[in-house]
Structure 1
């Protein structure tokens, strides 16, 4: 009962923060005290320069002198996450995820070095129970490969990308990956449908396939409604997994957003089975200059393995991005 009271209190604090954040934009771009800004600023600038210079140095070695000026999608993300679930032990995770993008190696052919490939990030149930499907973890899986980029406008044609390379572990594991994307605007109206699909083969894990369909529309200038369907199959699990989520995103101001969502996660063998259903409120705040973010996400789950009895959960996450050009990260 103590855990329930704690969760409810934190949920009320989350809603209170959201209400407080629902104010007009101001010039201030940080919630940190002056002493923390002075320490974080030089550290962030130095590490961001290192990420960019490292990617450009490698790119210049393999590619051309354009590596000094061309845009690059390289980044490093560090995060600290705390998870609590009713009836489960408290967990915390210090994670890192990075990507070195080498764009000039050959026209439309890029060398990619990245950690934590999507194919190794667990079942849909594990991913949907996290704060979102972009959780970080250790650097145990590292890919080095070549991507052949598609050059078609995905609003008019399917945009396809082919990649291949190796996973750096002993013994080395080759992989092949095919992805395709398409975006439709329905009847010139507010609804948009986005399709993102991937077929992969890793020598150590076998085949995997997933498809994601995202149907959404703005309700007004600050609110956006989305219906997201995921279907995934992995050879090592050898059953079909699916999830259906509906979410309402409310941009409170320039630096804060509130996401209210509900969803189901299931498996399909001979008969579809719902493994979990949940409700979640997620508050995300840009707490420092577009590269440091805080997430607070209380949720209520109804898992099958607990006979659908309600289980409270809470995720807190602090993350920092390092790259040359800092944009407002999608909230």
Structure 2
């Protein structure tokens, strides 16, 4: 009987595995050049984010090796900056892939909570006048309060409503609307529409579009490409221009509207998870999209 008990103890000992804690790297100890290359942000901004998120990300735990706030923040930002696999991010930070997967949603929600502070559509007459003046200085196009365009963020084919996410180029995506000012600063972002949704439908059913429709262009107008329908609050190019005035209009329109194309280009160049160069996002649409509860259309009227 004693022999059987001994064999059982040996069996249980083989099944038990000691927890192994990796040596976590202090990424903030690296140079600014190294940090910008891998996280797209300088040390000062990374430190400010860590400090701002400390209360949201610090949790009471009975374990002796809780993941520090700066490791959580840099791991998540590293994923956004590269679009690589979570395992590679974990190896760099000294944490496991399941840990990266567990902390990312918390950091992302913390980042989303800041959007209303930095992405705001103009609400006052003074703000609109400043934006109009800046746009006018580009090519003489008057009364523009924002340049609008959409871009596709590729993702893995979902199991539910799969066809709705197939865009006109034939791959699965989320169709993200961006509105920016003359300095490429984001004024509004809509990121909850499947790739098969038309650009014109998105803007007409967005909070900004509904607001401008109600104001009857009293606040100025948006400027968009031929993918949008001409509205009293949304100016598009003249199709098949003939007269010199039409040619001049299209030339000024193109130069002014190019701001949003550059803004989208810079956005995807900084955060490679959006560009597909690091591979398409391996998540379901509800994880790729910002929820309505997170103030998707980020401006002060949310």
TM-score by length of 2: 0.31
Structure of greater Rg:
2
Q: Which of the pair is proportionally richer in strand? A: 1
